[in-house]
Amino acid sequence: MPYPMPASLLEADLHPGKPPILHTGTPDDAPAWAAEHHHALRTLVTEHGALLIRGLHLRDADQAGAVLHHLAPAPMTDREAFAPRQTYTPGVYSSSAWPPNQQMCMHHELSYTLRPPGLMLFACLTAPTAGGATAIADASTVLQALPTELVRRFEQEGWLLTRTYNDEIGISYTEAFGTDDRTAIEDYCRTHAIDFAWQSDGSLCTRQRRPAVTAHPVTGRRCWFNQIAFLNEWTIEPEIREYLIDIHGPDQLPFNTRFGEGDPIGEDIIRLLSDTYTAHTTREPWQPGDLMLVDNLQTAHSREAYEGPREVLVAMAEPLHLTDCTPTPEVSPR
């Protein structure tokens, strides 16, 4: 349902090439301001897909965490992550650990899970000296720009994520699932439609099939919602990819994506997806104290390469149910 607006309507500044920006002035109490304007802010995020809030002057993790908790009273626990995070307070994390000199491609957070977050929250405490923007792209616009036949195939088949949890890259299965209990991990996988197999060396291989196109539960807009490009082998640095294939073989990369029925996705398709995202990317450099809210279904986000220290806190909330979105392919047999 749409979120109710208070009597005093907040308005975002709209400029080509930039996300919507809301200038707050300088409230004396940022957490209290966030609590007061929670519904209005959420409405703006649904309307625009994302909102950069400037003027709260968030100074430290405690203050930023309080703001995030007011805006997301029931934050989600990070599960099935692809890179490590530091936990600040329950439900408030560091950004995913990723080499500063490498771009983190456009994606929708945890879109390979059955209950991905509907809302992403980012709080910048330290802005890098260069680069490092959390850029965004409208998922409906990206969908419309993609070739019809390619979209049709992904709509029919969904997409397949394969993962091998080992010590080479990414995170261990203990970090991803929050436990080293194999029985608990197996139960989680069965409950969340994940095919799994333990390897003789103790590593874990998983496969999960998910929809590539979904409808937003409030707006009804069809969205290109997945991590097909980001988690594909062709976005791994070439020398690292070659090394991993030499060591583990092409079928046991830390992560890879395929068409839903298991066919490989060619480098040309990944390049097309990346180029389409690039053509529809908007960005605004972080300033210390900024807050950004992102509708995770309507809007993809990335993290650009950067120089200097960068500290951006992250929270996730409002879990979606992919069973409410169509289509939802069943897990394909191994």
Q: What is the pLDDT of residues 10-20, one digit of tens each?
A: 899 999 999 99
Q: Is the pLDDT reported for residue 4 higher than 50?
A: no
Mean pLDDT for the chain? 91
> What was the pLDDT predicted at 325?
44
Q: Is the pLDDT reported for residue 6 higher than 70?
A: no
- pLDDT-derived band at 105 (thresholds 50, 70, 90) equals very high
Owning domain of residue 264:
93-116+127-287+296-334
User: 311-319 and 92-94: which strand pairing?
Assistant: antiparallel
Give the mean pLDDT of 48-77: 95
Q: Is the pLDDT reported for residue 58 higher than 60?
A: yes
Structure tokens at 289: 């104290």
Say how far apart CA 142 and CA 228 lie, in whole Å: 13
Give the mean pLDDT of 130-143: 98
Give the mean pLDDT of 238-255: 86
155 in a structural domain: yes
The single-letter DSSP state of residue 8 is S
14 in a structural domain: no
Number of domains in the chain: 1
307 in a structural domain: yes
180 in a structural domain: yes
> What was the pLDDT predicted at 168?
66
**Is 324 strand, coil or helix?**
helix
> What was the pLDDT predicted at 327?
41
Spatial neighbors of 244 by CB under 8 A, at least 6 apart, are 168, 169, 236, 253, 254
97 in a structural domain: yes
Tens digits of residue pLDDT in 161-177:
999 997 766 789 999 99
* DSSP run (H or E) holding 248: helix 238-248
**Is 144 strand, coil or helix?**
helix
> What was the pLDDT predicted at 75?
94
> What was the pLDDT predicted at 251?
85
Spatial neighbors of 197 by CB under 8 A, at least 6 apart, are 204, 205, 206, 334
User: Residue 232 is part of a domain; what is its CATH number?
Assistant: 3.60.130.10
Structure tokens at 309: 């220290």
> What was the pLDDT predicted at 9?
67
Tens digits of residue pLDDT in 73-94:
999 999 999 888 999 998 999 9
29 in a structural domain: no
Structure tokens at 92: 């408030």
Are 81 and 171 a contacting pair, CB within 8 Å?
yes
